[in-house]
Amino acid sequence: MITKAPKINVVWLKRDLRLDDNEAIFEALKTGERTLLLYAFETMLMEDNHYSERHWNFVKESIRDINQQLKPYQTKVLTVEADIISAMNQLMEFYTIKDIYSHQETGILITYNRDKTFKRFCKNNLITWYESINNGVQRGLKDREQWTDMCNAYFNTEPLPFNPSQNQLLNLKEIEALEELLTVPSLETPEDTLFQKGGRSTGMKYLDSFLDKRYVNYMVHISKPELARTGCSRISPYIAWGNLSIREVYRKAFFQKKTDENKKALEAFMSRLRWQAHFIQKFEMEHTMEQESINKGFQKLKKEISEQYQMAWKTGQTGYPLVDASMRCLNETGYLNFRMRALVVSFFTHNLWQPWQDASQHLSQMFLDFEPGIHFPQLQMQAGETGTNMLRIYNPVKNSLEHDPEARFIKKWVPELRDLNTPFAHEPYIMTEMEQQLYNFRLGKDYPYPIVEIHETRKKATEILWNLRKNKKVKEESQRIFNTHTLRGNKSKQ
């Protein structure tokens, strides 16, 4: 007698590594069908140049945290090493997959193509794949006419609870039986690193400590490379990898603002949460932005590649202390505040005159909070290749004097300069021969000479980019971008 394979729903977890306010999980459980939570470490992503080990360790820590939350339900996430179609084929040897649920991912081109292939797979196997909207981002929009209303509706809706019925989730025994036949990765991660640890529990601790006390200095410290490390929320990786939803964070700040004395600080924080959704929506509508300038007129801009310049920038050896401190800090910790991110991109694209595409992969690998929908629009905006945003070329010396006046951040991350007086820590290249002898410090040996002259390179970049903005194609594209992405009721260019 042939026994039919039991029917199940599968929730395919991607960058939504949480149980609470997870629409895919909520919708799967609402059916009443038995459900399996699945995460696949896909080879194509593990080997993709946008990612690095720090990201996959964060994911592993996030899964471990989910599994801890699932203990009362006698279940866990089935975690496998396999491309998603291979994983589903293996599951179908034991179960009849009725429906699959996941969020609609605004990812890189490789994930978009994977999803198109997966859609065909589901159709061929008579499986219905339900994709839920993620953080208010809408697919298929041609302009922003209705987007604000849809985004507001998302933020104003109560977060979704995690409330499985008894025995609805496949139990540990059933999952362990599958693990015996599948390739299961170790979820162990290094303990002694400077990276933030993944998982909703840790993410909530960061959020709670921010809304409890740290938010008071948010507006004052947001641009300071050292003070921002505590003055900012530091929840960006938890949002990027889906440990927290934008909605629950926004609503928590919204309700606190009603009775809080420091309303402006909370309003500034909430504003940036909305901008996060805005930029991801922009990338969703302009997917070619991953590889090409959103303004097609700037695609004619050619820059001569210098491997020497690029390596100096990546390793923090440019001779400009704030740039070098920022890059070394990013490489070691995975975090930089927004202004320093803008500064290192500005330096790379304007002063070193290198194409933003050559900065993209290194930065995405280093940013623990790598979010494609933020990454590519911000890169192009800072590179001055949108045609709609003000051209900003950051002066690294001016910024270090203004935002790190005592050179604490510089001396922390560029220890070669630790024993120098503060003015020299900002500009070591102004030291005379006698002063170098006095400090037992040698330019070109202990710390490099500046690899470019910032005033000359700034002038060159400004002239070229401003002249290009007069180009007919650039103007036409600027107007297209303005018409497509300007929020209703907002007269400023996005």
Pick the closest to residue 61 from 186, 236, 211 (CA basis).
Answer: 186
Query: What is the Cα Rg of the chain in Å?
Result: 25
Print the domain residue range for 239.
Answer: 200-284
Q: What is the CATH number of the domain that holds 206?
A: 1.25.40.80
What is the DSSP track for 393-447?
Answer: ---HHHHHHHHSTT-HHHHHH-GGGTTS-HHHHH-GGG--HHHHHHTT--BTTTB
Instruction: Give the torsion through C-alpha atoms of 382, 383, 386, 389, to 10 deg.
Output: 40
What DSSP state is assigned to residue 190?
A: -
* Rounded Cα gap, residues 129 and 27, in angstroms: 12
Which of 252, 284, 316 corresponds to the end of one domain?
284
pLDDT score of 315: 98
| Across 76-85, 170-179, 250-259, 280-289, least confident range | 280-289
pLDDT at 433 over 90: yes
CB 43 within 8 A of CB 83: yes
Phi and psi torsions of 446, nearest 5°: -80, -30
pLDDT at 316 over 60: yes
pLDDT at 61 over 50: yes
Mean pLDDT calculated for residue range 248-273: 95
Are residues 277 and 311 located together in one domain of the fold? Answer: no
Pick the closest to residue 11 from 332, 120, 30, 1 (CA basis).
Answer: 30
pLDDT at 235 over 80: yes
Q: What is the CATH number of the domain that holds 309?
A: 1.10.579.10
Pick the closest to residue 39 from 184, 156, 136 (CA basis).
Answer: 184
Mean pLDDT calculated for residue range 347-374: 97
Pick the closest to residue 135 from 23, 217, 218 (CA basis).
Answer: 23
195 in a structural domain: no
pLDDT digits (tens, 9 = 90+) for 96-142: 999 999 999 999 999 999 999 999 999 999 999 999 988 888 888 88
pLDDT band, very low/low/confident/very high, at 3 (cuts 50, 70, 90)? low
Are residues 339 and 435 located together in one domain of the fold? Answer: yes
Helix (H, G, I), strand (E, B) or coil at 249: helix
* Rounded Cα gap, residues 113 and 373, in angstroms: 16
Are residues 445 and 410 located together in one domain of the fold? Answer: yes
| Angle at which helices 307-315 and 356-366 cross, to 10° | 30
Mean pLDDT calculated for residue range 70-97: 97
Are residues 309 and 371 located together in one domain of the fold? Answer: yes
Mean pLDDT calculated for residue range 414-425: 97
pLDDT digits (tens, 9 = 90+) for 30-51: 999 999 999 999 999 999 999 9
pLDDT at 328 over 90: yes
Record the pTM. Answer: 0.95
pLDDT score of 491: 41
Mean pLDDT calculated for residue range 216-241: 97
pLDDT score of 1: 38
**What is the longest distance spanned by two Cα atoms in the chain?**
94
What DSSP state is assigned to residue 95?
A: -
459 in a structural domain: yes
Average pLDDT, the chain: 95
Q: What is the CATH number of the domain that holds 56?
A: 3.40.50.620
